[in-house]
Structure 1
Amino acid sequence: MSFETREEVLEKVIAMPKPKCPHCGVEMSLWEEPPMHMGDGLGWGTPFLFICFSDDCSLYREGWKHIEESYAHKASYRCMNYPGTDVFEVMPVFSDMGGRGQICDDQAMAEQEVSKEAIKRGFNLLAEFFTTKDGPGMMRLLLDPTEPARVRLKAAEMIGDLGEVESIEPLRNVRFGNELIQKKVDEAVAKIHERHFTRECPFCAEIIKRRANVCKHCGKEVAGT
């Protein structure tokens, strides 16, 4: 199963032509999903959507009356589109300003430019670290939460290929909060063990030889574990 970072999704969405609202023909705005999902709380499966924010849109204008008559609530609808598809659905809004705080057309463009520069700088550093076999430098980039996800993912991959056994402990002591990075770090640890013929004691978590029968740290039998 393939996963994409937020930066990768944003890069793709920005490159797409903006769809026009099927209800009013107005070009839709790029919109970022808020931290707290609306509706059933499950989200839309993508961090970005296209939303029509035209107050002259027939869906929006007529939605106020429809919801009030049907549900006795003061609300309306905005038309939304899933990027890269012909799927248009409705999103409830509860005021004329509802959802506008998540419009990110200009912000997204500026953010993307900053992200590109940060990624370029990070990859240049990683290339330098690879040439000089600078494991601590790779580790610094991986552990820095301000670095772009792409840079941190590549750093984890390189640590798996070049890292020493001593790299495992700091990796195990960090929870990255990003599923993709955590998975890549776990893969890196497995690679380091494979290259050095080591493993972790299932009782004390210290590093031991893969073929060890007894852990030299805690004295427990580890044969067959």
Structure 2
Amino acid sequence: MARIALLGAAGRIGAELREEALLRGHQVTALVRTVGRVAPQPDLEEKVVDAYDASSVAAGATGHDVFISAFSPDPSEPLEGKPQRLREAHKAILDGVRQGGVKRAILVGGVGSLWASPGVLVVDSPEYPQQYRPHTLANIAILQGLVEEAGDLDWTYVSPPRRIEAGERTGVFRLGTDQLLRDPQGESHISRADFAIAVLDEVAKAAHVRRRFTVAY
């Protein structure tokens, strides 16, 4: 079983990743903003980490086999400042992972860099909310940075579908690479529980090293 450092372990996606990892028998260190964010469980340790400080991230990453980031800026922060905060955090996260001596890193990213149709990214499609465009462009830049500058890491970037929400853990879904996945009704969605299965499968199989993948019904 792996020793997993999980950043954002108290968030909606992070909580599902945490529970799925524990269900599989992994040892999990929940890296959180403030103490007391996760309930005590066997094989679970909580550690406070500042995602904007590489040395703090390194302290949380050291001694682990895999680093998973489900980080997102604090919801209370102004929307207009989040793109820059996202870029700052991911630089610190990747630098901290390196300093902590962890080679395997899995980052939960955004949907906007997927292709909605030939030649049209999700972020440029008519259905995409324009108020999130700056945030999405920051995520696209982060993915591009991984491709161009993170060859020293065994990274994987995971793009969710258009909707990721509470729901059943079915274990039945599809994987893709760069195209937005839709079901026969044209919907692009998955439950957070099934999304967590896909991410922890990647921990086990390492099927998308130095690549992006996506998952949906």
TM-score tier after normalising by the smaller chain length: under 0.3
Question: TM-score if structure 1 supplies the norm length?
Answer: 0.25
**Structure (1/2) with the larger helix percentage:** 1
Q: Does 1 or 2 have the higher relative contact order (CA < 8 Å, sep 6+)?
A: 2
Q: Give the greater-gyration-radius structure (CA).
A: 1
Question: TM-score if structure 2 supplies the norm length?
Answer: 0.26
**Structure (1/2) with the larger strand percentage:** 2
